[in-house]
Amino acid sequence: MRKALILALVLLLAGCSGGDTDKTPPPTPSPDLSGRPAAVATNAGPFESGPVVAPARGALVGAWIKPDELTHVGRLAAVGSLESDLGRKLSIVNTYRRFEQMVGTPSDREFLAQGATLMVSWATGDNRSILDGEHDDLIRKQAKAIRKIHKPVLLRMRWEMDRPNLRATMWSAGDYIAAWKYVRNIFKQEHADNASWVWCPTAEGFIRGDAPGFYPGDDQVDWTCVDVYAGELFQPIGQLMGPFLEFAAKHPKPIVIGEFGVAKAWGSAGRAAWLRDAERTFKANPQIKAIAYFESDPEGNPITKQFQLTGDRQAFKAFHALATDPYFNP
C-alpha cells in the first residue's frame, strides 16, 4: 500500500511539473566545440563572384541588426551601435525587403557611403505569378533602383526558398529556378549589372536533401549561401552545414553565410563556445568569403529562436574576438 502511494505521488508530481516549454530547450547532448571543425569541404577556386568581389584571403564580416524602429534613424542607430561595440565598421549590412520595397533608401545610401556592401534579402512573391508576367513593372522598378545606387550589391532573391512553409508560393524547385532566370533576365534588360546574385537555402534543406534541387546553375549564381542556426538543436556549426559545404565545394563560387546565430537558450558559456567553434570552422573553409550574424530577437519567438548577442557579455566577447581577428578584416 505504501509503495502504491509513493508511486502515485511521483506520477502526480511528474504530471504537474509543466512549465513554459518556449523557455526551456529540449535536452540535447553537449557537443564537442573545442576540437577540429566538424566539417571541411572547400573548392580552391578561382571563384566567379560577380560585381561583389570576394577577398583573396579571409572573409568579410557583416550582420542584420534589428532596429528599434524601421526608420532611417532607427536603422543607422542599430548598425552604429553594434559597430561601436565591436570597434570596427561592418563590411556587409544585411537588409530585408518585401517584394514591393525598393532598394536605395536614405539609410541604404548612408551605409554605402560609409563603405559597407549591402546584402539585400528580397522576398519575391509567387513564382508562377512572376512567370505569368504579373510583376514585370515591379521587377523593372527594383532593377532600376539597384542600378541607380552605382555600387555592387549582394542580392539574395527569395532566400530560404526551400522552407516547407514557403512551398505554396514557391510551387516547386523548377518553378523557383524558372522565376530566378526570369527576374535575372529583366535585370539584364535594365542594365542592373551591379548585382551579385546570391542563392541562399537553409542548412536544414541540405540535411533533408531537397535544397540542391533549387540551384539555378553556375551560369546563374554568383555566390552560394546558407542560413544556419544553433536554435532548437545545439550542434556545431560545421555539423549543421556540412551537407551544404559538400555541395558548395562542387561549384566555383565563393560562399557567404547569409545568416548565422546561436540561441539564448543555450546559455552564455554554450553560446561563446559555439561562436569560437564557428570562427574555427570559417577559417578551415577558405571558400567562405563572407559571414553575416543575425543580431535579432524576433518578436514572439521562443528562447530557442532568439539570437541577439548584445547584452550577453560572454557570448558577445566571442563574437568580438571573431570580428576583430585580422582574418575577418581582409
Active site residues: 160, 259
Integer Cα distance of 62 and 83 in angstroms: 10
Q: Which cell numbers hold the place of 2?
A: 505504501
DSSP 48-61: --TTSPPPSSS-EE
Closest CA to 271 of 249, 304, 240: 304
- What is the distance between the alpha carbons of residues 146 and 152, in angstroms, rounded to a whole number? 9
Residue count (the chain): 330
Q: Which residues pair with 259 in a beta bridge?
A: 227
In terms of Cα–Cα distance, which of 34, 40, 94 is closest to 276? 34
Name residue 83's amino acid. E
Cell numbers at residue 306, please?
532568439
- CA 93/CA 75 separation, integer angstroms: 10
CB 224 within 8 Å of CB 260: no
